[in-house]
Amino acid sequence: MIPRYSRPEMVAIWSPETKFRIWFEIEAHACDALAEIGVIPKAAARTIWEKGGPATFDIERIDEIERETKHDVIAFLTHLAEIVGPDARFVHQGMTSSDVLDTCFNIQLVRAADLLLSDMDALLAAIRRRAFEHKDTICIGRSHGIHAEPVTFGLKMAEAYAEFDRCRKRLEAAREEIATCAISGAVGTFANIDPRVEEHVARALGLAVEPVSTQVIPRDRHAMFFATLGVVASSIERLAVEIRHLQRTEVLEAEEYFSKGQKGSSAMPHKRNPVLTENLTGLARMVRAYALPAMENVALWHERDISHSSVERMIGPDATVTLDFALARLTGVVDKLVVYPERMLANMNRLGGLVHSQRILLALTQAGVSREDAYRLVQRNAMKVWESYQLSGASEVDFLEELLADKDVRAALSEEEIRSRFDLGYHTRQVDTIFRRVFGEA
């Protein structure tokens, strides 16, 4: 997490202020429950809210105490006692530090997930808009980087929409994974604290109760959370790579928006580089990488060790802040992407109609030619076009004319039958079907 790739709302979730505020709320809600079941005086619980609620926690003071005690929760509680007064001795009764730390971490992750979900909604909206805008914008489909058959730019967007819609569902599941609360004491047995306290705090904070904790909330939950972020990042990379390809000089079917004052290069003023999507490619690598230490964190020793903590102090903010930034950046890129439909057509047509070879192959087969023979007939005409294209980048041989002049082809198909296979509309007949599947409308 570095300022360059951070947005303030997500950064705020990970600030010390937010953390100590959450700690306070966990403790204060726990006091309410402890008072309710008669463990501590009700007046004490009230005092804690009254004094701690409006207080601003002094982070430097807490750090100072921690430097001495080398224990962050004790440092906070000591500072809280300075604010609350004698009633502070009722705080944290029967609890262990991890009850506070783990529940707080989960709350931060839940808030991060909520932000990511709303990022995702904005991204989905942008993709959807561009999808419908370009539903019928023909461009060549490419497999292996090689021209295949026509698609539309809207279909590319539809695929991205369906993919990020899956990512949204995965994020929801990931959010549910870590939306739990544990207030179960030193080794999770509730020996010193009534399970009703946990139930109350969970309810008050919108979390589920952790069915069985062992001082800590089990880290398979967090592994699943961060692994999910890694998958989302990989989908970001996919769309980023698509745009980078489309912006290549030789392709140039779309471009990232290029603002007036922006300079692409200190030396080559004509260059407009897809730096945002290249940047997203790199950010995706980072978010993906964080999944691994999260998985290694699962195998804690016995009831817990603290090896996960340093990892989480880093990847908690790093993964969520980076992914938040990446989703927002991608949304901007999609939203303002400059699309060049004429160039899409021009690129396709440079291959002299080879794009229709599959239809001719089928037509031949359906006309009774064996698969092997049809393949050879198509191939021998196609190769002429291709070889011309290879040299110049724009074929001077026309596939249609070649076919019409090929006696063996004509023995199977009439001119009319051949010409009809060169209709682009043929390829887009099912776009509406696909759109209905993806968007529920076309």
Q: 413: closest CA among 375, 421, 424? A: 421
Phi and psi torsions of 309, nearest 5°: -65, -50
Helix (H) or strand (E) holding 308, with range, is helix 307-336
User: What is the crossing angle of helices 431-439 and 97-133, to 10°?
Assistant: 150
Known active-site residue 265: yes
Is 146 a residue that touches a second copy (CB under 8 A)?
Answer: yes
The whole-angstrom separation of Cα 120 and Cα 109 is 16
Known active-site residue 79: no
What does the DSSP assignment read for 70-122? Answer: --HHHHHHHHHHHHH-GGGGGTTTT--HHHHHHHHHHHHHHHHHHHHHHHHHH
Task: Name which of 54 and 293 has its Cβ closer to a second copy.
Answer: 293
Phi and psi torsions of 142, nearest 5°: -125, 130
Task: Name which of 47 and 213 has its Cβ closer to a second copy.
Answer: 213
CB of 362 to a second copy, least distance (A): 6
CB of 381 to a second copy, least distance (A): 9
Is 11 a residue that touches a second copy (CB under 8 A)?
Answer: no
Task: Name which of 118 and 379 has its Cβ closer to a second copy.
Answer: 379
The 3-state secondary structure of 226-273 reads HHHHHHHHHHHHHHHHHHHHHHCCCCCCEECCCCCCCCCCCCCCCCCC
x-marked contacts with a second copy along 102-141 as a string, rule CB under 8 A = --------------------------------------xx
Out of 144, 266, 270, 302, pick the active-site residue. Answer: 144
Q: Looking at 2-10, 51-59, 102-110, 405-413, which segment touches a second copy (CB under 8 A)?
A: 2-10
CB of 250 to a second copy, least distance (A): 4
Is 296 a residue that touches a second copy (CB under 8 A)?
Answer: yes
CA-based R_g, the chain, Å? 30
Which residues from 30-59 bind a second copy, rule CB under 8 A?
none
Which residues from 166-225 bind a second copy, rule CB under 8 A?
166-167, 170, 173, 177, 185-192, 195, 209, 211-215, 218, 220-221, 223-224
- For the CA atoms of 273, 239, 429, 399, what is the dihedral angle to 10 degrees? 50
Is 332 a residue that touches a second copy (CB under 8 A)?
Answer: no
Task: Name which of 29 and 308 has its Cβ closer to a second copy.
Answer: 308
The whole-angstrom separation of Cα 14 and Cα 35 is 31
- Please identify which residue in 365, 388, 408, 422 interacts with a second copy, judged by CB under 8 A: 365
Query: Which positions are catalytic?
Result: 144, 265
